[in-house]
Chains A and B, each alone.
Chain A
């Protein structure tokens, strides 16, 4: 190190001396120039001051690119030389500068002359190549002369110097070959592959910083070979060796070039696992091998590969070759099982016996032989005949042997033998116990899914004597079983299970000699999902404030999982009270979000009906039902119903109430009629004095009407006024002024005519009511009397009989009250009993009118009225207040009774 420094200083001194003072480009000089530095080592540079005393070493600084190096890393050699030492890293910049920033005018003005730099080249030492491997592959029938070598590192990052690799291949005592590359692999051409020659191979890595060699690989050249795989693999099956196959093959390369060893592997058809022949058995240069301890009547696939003896690379595996081993008689028992189903007969059950081929069938099973007998008979050695079941046509894995009907009380034993072309298998036995003799089942059965398989776990019953377990599984179209050993408590079911399909899994304990114990069942899914659809058939029975919904369960194949609950959704479209869920629905066309609010009720999975309560009357509801599993829920189709306005019992109540009210009124009326008969009779059928018995008749026989002097006691609703027959105006005025008084007077009368009585009971307003009020009154009662004001002639006033027909002015009131029948039919007045003078008038003037108290006669008279148009017309006309002619020629009548009730005015 010291020597280096000395040399550096000497060189610098020479350089400084060689440069003339007049041609000073820089007052500083750095050394060494363009160093090649290994990353990770310390580097020391020196800066000299030359041809100036303006600055000293104390004024010098070092910087790497733009970053100044701390002064702690400086070492002052003299007043004109300054060292710096720093660690070279990957991040070290390429330029190292020495400069002075002294605050003097000369330095500031010539700053570029107080700067000198070093360009640094850095890299790592070349890494030693490792893991050198070389290979020579077979080409046609010889080994290729090109040897391919690889080493590590595969990818090296270069900084300033690339690494060159040289592969050296030395054929012992013959010649050396080499090949250079920048990669991590190389191909070396040996012209002729040096079989049986010893090779030395190594790699030398070299860059500007140095070189390094890999470890030497000294091998026999044949150890680098990789041949083609053996060809023409031929398998020979010999009938006398049902468990053996003889292999032979053709070696890929001549024996003189390479001594080969082999490896053989084989697998039965369908198996994914290879069986390897022990290496010691094939570690020779052989071309045939006998596989032994194989299963009879099984197809085996075989492959062979080879490599140079001792060292070398294994060739690829040869093409597969397959052959079936010869058949032999079955060595395993057939796997016999049962399917139990209820029989139509009440005293037993139906059993279907099934069998799978023996695990060691050793040939094609062509038939089964079966014998079923009562267990007691068996013990008595009453052997029944063997039945033959031929396996024909479609050879499925499971063969149906026999359907038998067994009784509950009897235990049966079934023995089955499988037969192939070479002989019979050992007997398989199952005992189907009577119900009384069934032994304990397994307990705590549970099924879980692991990957694509179902895992069954159980605990054995406490009873002893269990020989094995049978795990049975089934769905709507699959039935299978498998046997597990007696100490097994957990088993994976060997089947291709589908997701979303329900499987019924059963575990049967088998006791000695195949005595079947009671099964334990469980249902399971490999994977659950949301149901395919919700309940679709919804039947609703709406009422007033509730609706009873009934739906059908989802078909099993659409459930796709265990239904955990049903959720009933319903909404009335608008109401939001009591709603507990909100669904957001997006209209894809308008992108307007609308909200549908509905109520939901969740019920159990076993519930298929529900009554929705607190519904609104007379409202249309939409409902749908969602079915849920642990994986999700699916809604069914919607269903609409409308609640009733009235409940049927409400209608009944209303009808009953109305009926009762009506009945009560009727009864009350009847009671009133019964207890107030006299009053009613007097009110409605007052006693009318018989005018015929009146003394007036005797008083004026010619004018019977006028002869009778009106008695105050007889005045009722009719006011008889003393007016001038021609002075209608004064009459009305007088009438207006006196009418209340008269009314009061008449109302106080105890005995009044029918009309008068009616009038007395009416209010004053009624008596002077206008036509509107009259309409109302007409609605209320048909017996209401229409008041009339009758202006009598002067003759009448004085009760002076007159020979001339009395000129009477008939003036009707403004009341719209209907006229009494007697008013419209004056001829009926006698019947009603208070129109004495008018009656008399009628009796005297109208031939249409009768004069009888007899109701029949009255009726007849009413009928007769129909034939009196003149009177009717006269009435109408009087209402218009026009008919002077009528007044002259018409009957002298103050009012007309109404026939059959009232008439609207």
Chain B
């Protein structure tokens, strides 16, 4: 095909202007056909890549990312509610740092390690949420919004953990699944505290949890970008 086109171009040198024009058109059509074919091949390969990416970036990665954002927002709102319900010195108590609180950072270098780390952190926070809920139950009225929010964020944390596990299972189907640990893993709960310590403890737990969620969101966004590429936003629409 390329050859015939070349011959046509050689012949055109012997033609008058009108014929020259005709052969120029023929060359243009040939080039357009080639270009179209090339484009089709590119698009097809892109679709193949997109399809493979879709498998990874779709369910459950994107919902997990959205859920992480939701939980992060709820944690921010919860801290506000918490501060509002702790009376005076609420700003002060949240600036104190405590030991024994789970690390909000995600460890590991590989995604599997990072996802596993997220799972562990979320597991670790669960007994702390329970402790804070119990402490605040003594401090708040039964129908307090704070108690409801604490209860919700604890459940929501489990939802997120479930989703992380699903992502892990989806990305690493041959690895052992991330199993829930009701004991909270390696974390240790603080000893009995006075009310002020309870308030400080609760706020530190919530703040740390917020940091964790911030890190999870960032990580999942990065992971999404890795798995879904530049079309992630568009794909986000469909999933």
Contacts and interface: CB of A to CB of B under 8 A. Distances in A.
A192 B156 contact: yes
A452 interface: no
Interface residues of A, number: 18
Contact of B66 (A171, A198, A256): A256
Given A197-B63, A198-B59, A257-B70, A171 B237 contact: no
Given A173-B166, A197-B162, A310-B238, A192 B152 contact: yes
B53 interface: no
A259 B237 CA distance: 9
B155 interface: yes
Contacts of B59: 198
Given A173-B165, A196-B70, A196-B163, A191 B63 contact: no
B158 interface: yes
A254 interface: yes
A172 B162 contact: yes
Contacts of A194: 159
B163 A197 contact: yes
A195 interface: yes
B159 A174 contact: yes
Contacts of B166: 172-173
Interface string A251-272: 0001011010000000000000
B67 interface: yes
B32 to A, nearest CB: 31
B69 interface: yes
B73 interface: yes
Given A256-B69, A310-B238, A192 B63 contact: no
Contacts of B73: 254, 256
A310 to B, nearest CB: 7
B64 interface: yes
A196 B65 CA distance: 9
A174 to B, nearest CB: 4
Given A172-B166, A254-B73, A309-B237, A196 B158 contact: no
B70 A197 contact: no
B67 A197 contact: yes
Contact of A220 (B63, B69, B155, B162): B63
Interface in B56-105: 59-60, 63-64, 66-67, 69-70, 72-73
A329 B155 CA distance: 62
Interface residues of B, dominant DSSP: helix
A260 to B, nearest CB: 13
Contacts of A254: 73
Contact of A174 (B72, B151, B158, B238): B158
A256 to B, nearest CB: 4
A105 B1 CA distance: 112
B214 to A, nearest CB: 13
A340 to B, nearest CB: 66
Contacts of A192: 151-152, 155-156, 159
A108 to B, nearest CB: 77
Interface in A252-294: 254, 256-257, 259
Interface residues of B, number: 22
A171 B64 CA distance: 14
Interface string A171-195: 1111000000000000000011011
Contacts of B69: 256
A229 B87 CA distance: 36
Contacts of A220: 63
Contacts of A310: 238
Nearest to A141: B77
B162 A195 contact: no
B162 A196 contact: no
A174 B72 CA distance: 20
A196 B165 contact: no
B109 to A, nearest CB: 26
Nearest to B169: A173
A173 B160 CA distance: 11
A195 B60 CA distance: 13
Nearest to A259: B66
B163 A256 contact: no
A195 B59 CA distance: 14
Nearest to A310: B238
Given A192-B156, A198-B60, A174 B162 contact: yes
A310 B63 CA distance: 13
A259 B236 CA distance: 10
B63 A173 contact: no
A196 B63 CA distance: 5
Given A254-B73, A257-B70, A197 B237 contact: no
A171 to B, nearest CB: 7
Given A191-B155, A198-B60, A310-B238, A173 B162 contact: yes
Interface in A209-260: 220, 254, 256-257, 259
Contacts of B63: 196-198, 220
Interface in A43-76: none
A192 B59 CA distance: 21
A512 to B, nearest CB: 51
B70 A195 contact: yes
Nearest to B148: A192
B7 to A, nearest CB: 49
Contacts of A195: 66-67, 70, 159
Contacts of A309: 237
Interface centre among A171, A196, A259 (most CB of B within 10 A): A196
A197 B156 CA distance: 10
Given A174-B162, A309-B237, A196 B67 contact: yes
Interface in B127-178: 151-152, 155-156, 158-159, 162-163, 165-166
A195 B63 CA distance: 9
A668 to B, nearest CB: 136
Contacts of A173: 162, 165-166
A39 B111 CA distance: 59
Interface string A304-315: 000001100000
Given A256-B70, A256-B73, A196 B156 contact: no
A634 B234 CA distance: 78
A890 to B, nearest CB: 159
B119 to A, nearest CB: 12
A196 B166 CA distance: 13
A310 B156 CA distance: 23
A712 to B, nearest CB: 169
A811 B63 CA distance: 166
A194 B151 CA distance: 14
A310 B159 CA distance: 22
Nearest to A191: B155
Nearest to B69: A256
B132 to A, nearest CB: 17
B239 to A, nearest CB: 8
Contacts of B155: 191-192
B103 to A, nearest CB: 25
A195 B73 CA distance: 13
B70 A171 contact: no
Nearest to B166: A173
A310 B237 CA distance: 8
A191 B72 CA distance: 19
A310 B236 CA distance: 11
Interface centre among A194, A309, A310 (most CB of B within 10 A): A194
Given A174-B162, A195-B70, 16 more contacts: A173-B162, A173-B166, A174-B159, A191-B155, A192-B152, A195-B66, A195-B67, A195-B159, A197-B67, A198-B59, A198-B60, A198-B63, A220-B63, A256-B70, A256-B72, A259-B66
19 contacts: A171-B159, A172-B162, A174-B158, A174-B162, A191-B155, A192-B152, A192-B155, A192-B156, A192-B159, A194-B159, A195-B70, A196-B64, A196-B66, A197-B67, A197-B163, A198-B59, A256-B70, A256-B73, A257-B70
Name the 8 nearest CB pairs between A and B, nearest first: A196-B63, A196-B67, A192-B155, A174-B162, A256-B70, A256-B73, A173-B162, A196-B66
Interface of A: 171-174, 191-192, 194-198, 220, 254, 256-257, 259, 309-310
